[in-house]
Amino acid sequence: MSARIVHIASNTFREAVRDRVLYNLIAFALLLSGAAIFIGQISIEIERLVVVNLGLTAVSLFGVVIAIFIGIGLVSKEIEKRTLYTVLSRPVRRWEFIVGKFFGLAGTLVVNTFFMAIGVFAALLYVAHKFSSSDAFILVALYFIVLEFLILCSLALLFSSFSSPLLSAVFTFALFIIGSFADDLRGFAAMTHGIARWFATAAAYLVPNFSALNVISAVAHQQSVGGQVVLQNSLYALFYSAMVLSGAVLIFERRNLK
Amino acid sequence: MPAIEILGLEKIYKVGFWRKQTRRALHPLHLTVENGEIFGFLGPNGAGKTTTLKMLMGLVFPTAGTARILDRDWTEPEVKAQIGFLPEQPYFYDYLTAHELLDYYGQLSGVPAKDRKRRIDEVLARVGLTDVRGVQLRKFSKGMLQRAGIAQAILHDPKLVFFDEPMSGLDPLGRREVRDLMEQLKHEGKTVFFSTHILSDAEALCDRVAIIHKGELRGVGAVADLTSSVQGKVEVVWQGTQVPASMKALGAECHITGDTVRAVIADTQQDAAIDALRRERLRLIAITPLRTSLEAYFVEKLQHSQTTAGTTV
Ligand SMILES: Nc1ncnc2c1ncn2[C@@H]1O[C@H](COP(=O)(O)OP(=O)(O)O)[C@@H](O)[C@H]1O
Ligand SMILES: [Mg+2]
């Protein structure tokens, strides 16, 4: 990987930190500790279930909001403010800029998720007083959440490379919602007939499959996640974000800056 | 080897919601800038200067044409390690300090880590920002941003610099400093290509200038050569509605407006003209030497285009 990509990524991370993005951790900590104390009052049986469910869902939603809100401005804001002029007039390839931005945002989310994960485990320890071996699967759920972020980052970047921040936010959020029901969509497509089946199937398989990446409920119920699923999901997320990023690069390579 | 060869670069913007309308920003432009010269790219606002520079930097794509920079195809990324660019009214990442910004740009331009700190200190001192090196750019005034812009353009010690309106946003002292800096760059053997709509900035400084108006090149040459066409001429004005034959014989170009006539003649024929007018008993109003500045040339060039445009409509 070229050094320039690393420099662009770390500058993107620095921007997020200075824009106080990590302050969301405070809100997250308050939410989670409030919930843990509240749940601590009720029955011992469902405490773990609720904390894991709530904690992981919050990790996912906080990250989704960050991915969308930073992602949509990554390219369009730099074009709008003309900060790109002095970057692209250096020996920086346009694709390096896109890829650097992607890793910068992904890195921000990984760091953010790391701190939130500590919070989830702390809350779990608070209500259950000890860890059990099945808690290891919480790590798998967190890993899948990060994979979800990678796909979202690439989508936000793709839209950011040709449309306004507002439209990008709408597109990315819509795909997030639709993708969360990708399984249902695939089931629905299988029930249709003729040409409609064709289109429905294509659409169902084109949207990002976030439902496969969501194992929060299973993990909360102390079910295990197989190695095969981990491998499949990893490959899927990498392939999907790589394709979307390539699309972003293809568009951005041809763009006239304002 | 020329530093810049612009080979027919042309830009037609597509405008409007459906991008159906077009607006021509630049007619095919042919221009050569030699190594080691300070070259002024002159024209009023909207002439197409910024468009030309943005095409050379690969920020917008030309409708047609190519260019060579430092004897290489202008799209080669390696070329960009050797050039510096100051955009018009530059704007930077405002969450960075001046020092952080230059460090980041140094990394992108491939300045080795061990030289970076020294280079940054040098250019900060050179543009007078040493005292505010630790201040975030969001607190910078327009003039300070302009200085930061110059600093980032020369940070990596480029062979060729492109400055778009480098004096704008600066006070008289600042303009003076930028002029001095461009002269120093020339002495260091660098090529300076800069655009301006302020002629006096170019006049004292440039080895050669190009004049562009409404996207069309109107003249290229050494300042002295360009101005020589209006050098040593006087304008004679008298009351009357026609031009006597004796004045025509002097080869004067005459314009009649109302009851005054203006004629431009060589200053060596001034006495003959006065004699001719006296013989015809015409009332002389004024004799004024034409300004031999770039400004006179500029005004003449642009007026010329306006009158021709006026007659064709
Ligand atoms: N992005 C753009 N879209 C449409 N027209 C543009 C764009 N940028 C510049 N123009 C037009 O191109 C012409 C030249 O502009 P510019 O290159 O900025 O001139 P200058 O720098 O000499 O003032 C102007 O008429 C301007 O309106
Ligand atoms: Mg301009």
Nearest to B43 by CA among B216, B231, B178, B169: B216
Tokens of A38: 């509240």
Query: Which atom of ligand 1 lies closest to the CA of A258?
Result: 1
Q: What pLDDT is stored for residue A213 in this prediction?
A: 95
Amino acid B310: pLDDT: 35
**Which phi and psi angles does B48 have, rounded to 5°?**
115, 15
**Residue from B26, B50, B193 to probe ligand 1 pocket by mutation (most atoms less than 8 Å from CB):** B50
**How many structural domains is chain A composed of?**
1
Are B4-223 and B229-291 the same fold in CATH? no
| CATH architecture under which domain B229-291 falls | 2-Layer Sandwich (3.30)
**Would you tell me how many other CB atoms lie within 10 Å of the CB of residue A154?**
27
CB-based contact, B60 to chain A, within 8 Å? yes
**Main-chain phi, psi angles of B156, to 5 degrees:** -95, 20
List of chain B residues whose C-beta atoms are within 8 Å of the C-beta of residue A70: none
A174-177 contacts, C-beta under 8 A, 24 or more apart? A175/A207, A175/A208, A176/A64, A176/A68, A176/A152, A176/A210
CATH class of B4-223: alpha beta
Choosing among B75, B108, B138, B147, which should be mutated to test the A contact, i.e. which has the most A CBs within 10 A? B108
| B24 alpha carbon – ligand 1 mean position (Å) | 9
Find the closest chain A residue to B79 by CA distance.
A91
User: Residue A182: which of A167, A202, A198 has the closest Cα?
Assistant: A202
Name the token pair of A86.
């002095």
The pair of structure tokens assigned to B221 is: 């040459």
What's the mean per-residue pLDDT of chain B? 89
Whether B60 and A257 lie within 8 Å, measured CB to CB? yes
Residues A160-175 have a mean pLDDT of: 94
CB B258 within 8 A of CB B234: no
| Secondary structure (DSSP) of chain B | -EEEEEEEEEEEEEESTTS-EEEEEEEEEEEEEETT-EEEEE--TTSSHHHHHHHHTTSS--SEEEEEETTEETT-GGGGGSEEEE-SS----TTSBHHHHHHHHHHHTT--HHHHHHHHHHHHHHHT-GGGTTSBGGG--HHHHHHHHHHHHHTT--SEEEEESTTTT--HHHHHHHHHHHHHHHHTT-EEEEEES-HHHHHTT-SEEEEEETTEEEEEEEHHHHHHTTTTEEEEEEE-SS--HHHHTTT-EEEEETTEEEEEEEGGGHHHHHHHHHHTTPPEEEEEEPP-SHHHHHHHHHHHHHHHHHHH-
pLDDT tens per residue across span A20-72: 988 899 999 999 888 888 887 776 678 888 899 999 999 999 999 999 999 99
Evaluate whether B67 touches B76 at the Cβ level (below 8 Å): no
Higher pLDDT: A235 or B1? It is A235
Q: Are A122 and A88 in contact (CB under 8 A)?
A: no
**pLDDT for the residue B311:** 33
Q: Kindly provide the b/e burial profile for residues A58-90, where b requires at least 16 CB atoms within 10 angstroms of the residue's own CB.
A: bbbebbbebbbebbbbbbbebbeebbbbbbbbb
Closest residue by CA, ligand 1 atom 20: B46
A85 and B83 within 8 Å at the Cβ level: the answer is no
| B106 close contact with A: CB closer than 8 A | no
The pLDDT assigned to B12 comes to 96
The whole-chain average pLDDT of chain A stands at 93
Q: Are A210 and A179 in contact (CB under 8 A)?
A: yes
Question: What pLDDT is stored for residue A38 in this prediction?
Answer: 84
Whether the CB of A89 is below 8 Å from some CB of chain B: the reply is yes
Pick from A111, A115, A117, A112: which is nearest to A140 by CA? Answer: A117
Buried b (16+ CB within 10 A) or exposed e, B201-236: bbbebbebbbbbbbbbbbbbeebeebbeebbebbeb
Query: What's the order of all strands across the beta sheet hosting B284-289?
Result: B253-257, B260-266, B233-239, B284-289
* Cα distance from N-terminal residue to C-terminal residue, chain A: 29
Instruction: Read off the pLDDT band of A129 (50, 70, 90).
Output: confident
Q: Which residues of chain B have pLDDT under 50?
A: 308-313
Q: What is the pLDDT of residues A66-100, one digit of tens each?
A: 999 999 999 999 999 999 999 999 999 999 999 99
As a whole number of angstroms, the distance between CA A37 and CA A241 comes to 39
Is the Cβ of A2 closer than 8 Å to some Cβ of chain B?
no
Return the bridge partners of B32, or none: B5
Angle between helical axes of B113-127 and B142-154 (0-180°, round to 10): 140
Matching residue, tokens 């293809």:
A250
Q: Give me the phi and psi of B15, to 5 degrees please.
A: -125, 170
Considering only CB atoms, B105 lies closest to which of A19, A86, A257, namely A86
- Supply the range of the domain harboring residue A96: 3-254
Domain ranges across chain B: 4-223, 229-291
* Residue-level pLDDT at B304: 63
Q: What's residue A130's pLDDT? A: 86
Torsion, CA A162, CA A168, CA A174, CA A176, rounded to 10: 90
The candidate with the shortest Cα–Cα distance to A139, out of A160, A121, A125, A158, is: A121
Phi-psi sector, A26: left (phi>0), alpha (psi -120 to 50), beta: alpha
